[in-house]
Amino acid sequence: MQVKQKVYELYKGTVERVTGPRTVSAFLEKGVLSVPEFILAGDNLVSKCPTWSWEAGDPSKRKPYLPSDKQFLVTRNVPCLRRAVAVEEEYDAAGAEVVLDDDEDGEGWLATHGLQASESKEEEDIPSMDTLDIGKVEEIKSIPSYFGAGEKPDDEEDIPDMDTYEDTGDHSTATPQPSYFVAEEPDDDNILLTRTYDVSITYDKYYQTPRVWLTGYDEARMPLKPELVFQDISQDHAHKTVTIEDHPHLLVGQHASVHPCKHAAVMKKIIDVIVSQGGAPEVDKYLFIFLKFMASVIPTIEYDYTMDFDLGSTST
């Protein structure tokens, strides 16, 4: 498997070197992005959702076909309140019939609407697509419910247990008045010790699509082992479409990435649906659509992609 992957990466690298970047738009026909379209869509994302920024990355990994200060997009310190694994287990236990994803034909992105609809009838603390909307804070769970019975992931080792919780509690307080520790604590139910992610989007020249990368941090803000990232990925994707690899613009650390081999096909499907509903998808909104699609792969990571506009229609 590893060798196969290496050989494949080598092949892909060679193809990328000998072929020029796409310059003609095939957004509507193939669901892919040219380099200028990626920049355009990225600029739009940064302007509408400024928690995202362009970054230059490591100079030694600079891609010549991208502007030096716009090599990739990043949003940092994004909360991930619950493990996707746990969410799905609960969901299965509740006898749900909607499958979160089906990456064969891209229905996964659409299926999440079904998930959302049925979830609202379930317990309210199952994160739905709504919780991805960063504005809806009510649904975000604080620590006490995070540690509530029946919500723990299987793997004992990875559970931040009460000891760690108390420990980090100590870490986060340093004021001159010791009374602080009792005075405000019970009221302050929004103390959030949770995993966080840095989410980055790079341009994959081979597949001519954006590609998402995840760098995780645990509840104590220490780097998360890449393997543990799989707990935050829809289990239909973990170890299949999501792999641990070197980041194309960063030198250090292994990062989880959603493999882009089916991105164009899924994006094409979504674009077709928008068109069939009378919309006219605009290429500068590609990343908004793309990030909504990514939410089916990483359902519990709450990055911002404001979706309060009609996809594709003229109004923004």
Partner 1 sequence: MAAKAEVRPRPLELDPIASRVELAFWEDLRRLKLDVLGTDDSPIPITGYYTPCTHPKMSGLLRLGRESLVPPSANSFGSRNSCPVPGTLINTNNMRGLQNLDVEYLLREEAKKILHDIMHGKIEEDPSLLLRFLVISFADLKNWKIYYSVAFPSLVFKSEMTLLSLHSASLVLSQEEAKSLSKSLKEWRSSNETAGLPFFFVDISSDSCIAIRQLKDWRDCQDNGQKLLFGFYDHGCHQDPGWALRNYIAFLSLQLKIEKIQFLCYREKRSELDLEKSLIGEASFPQPHGWDDSDYVPEAIGWEGEKPGDGRKEKKLKEINLESMSPERRDEEQQ
Among candidate residues 111, 77, 79, 74, the one with its CA nearest the CA of residue 96? 111
Given the DSSP bridges, would you call strands 242-246 and 72-80 parallel, antiparallel or unpaired?
unpaired
Binding window for partner 1 (CB under 8 A); candidates: 29-37, 87-95, 173-181, 263-271 = 173-181
Amino acid letter, 218: D
Rule CB under 8 A: say whether 251 interacts with partner 1: yes
Encoded tokens for 73: 């997009």
Rule CB under 8 A: say whether 159 interacts with partner 1: no
Rule CB under 8 A: say whether 250 interacts with partner 1: yes
Q: Say if residues 73 and 55 touch (Cβ distance below 8 Å).
A: yes
The least CB distance from residue 193 to partner 1, in Å, is 10
The least CB distance from residue 16 to partner 1, in Å, is 21
Rule CB under 8 A: say whether 239 interacts with partner 1: no
Rule CB under 8 A: say whether 137 interacts with partner 1: yes
Amino acid letter, 30: K
**Could you say which of 51, 118, 243, 313 contacts partner 1 (CB under 8 A)?**
51
The least CB distance from residue 260 to partner 1, in Å, is 22
The C-alpha torsion from 64 through 35 and 247 to 133, rounded to 10°, is 150
User: Nearer to partner 1 by C-beta: 148 or 223?
Assistant: 223
Q: Which of residues 82-121 bind partner 1 (CB under 8 A)?
A: none
Rule CB under 8 A: say whether 182 interacts with partner 1: no
The least CB distance from residue 254 to partner 1, in Å, is 7
Encoded tokens for 154: 């299987």
Q: How far apart are CA 118 and CA 111, in angstroms?
A: 11
Q: Which of 117, 191, 261, 275 is catalytic?
A: 261
User: Nearer to partner 1 by C-beta: 6 or 240?
Assistant: 6
User: Nearer to partner 1 by C-beta: 282 or 302?
Assistant: 302
Amino acid letter, 106: G
Phi, psi for residue 243 in degrees, rounded to 5: -135, 165
Number of H helices, E strands in the chain: 12, 6
Look up tokens 């010791």; give the residue: 178
User: Nearer to partner 1 by C-beta: 207 or 303?
Assistant: 303
| Strand stretches in the chain, DSSP E | 53-55, 72-80, 195-204, 209-217, 242-246, 254-258
Rule CB under 8 A: say whether 145 interacts with partner 1: no
Encoded tokens for 227: 């393997």
Contacting positions for partner 1 (CB under 8 A)? 2, 6, 49-51, 53, 56, 58, 75-79, 134-135, 137, 140, 142, 170-178, 180, 183-184, 187-188, 190-192, 194, 196, 215, 217, 221-223, 225, 250-254, 302, 304, 306
Which residues are part of the catalytic machinery?
A: 261
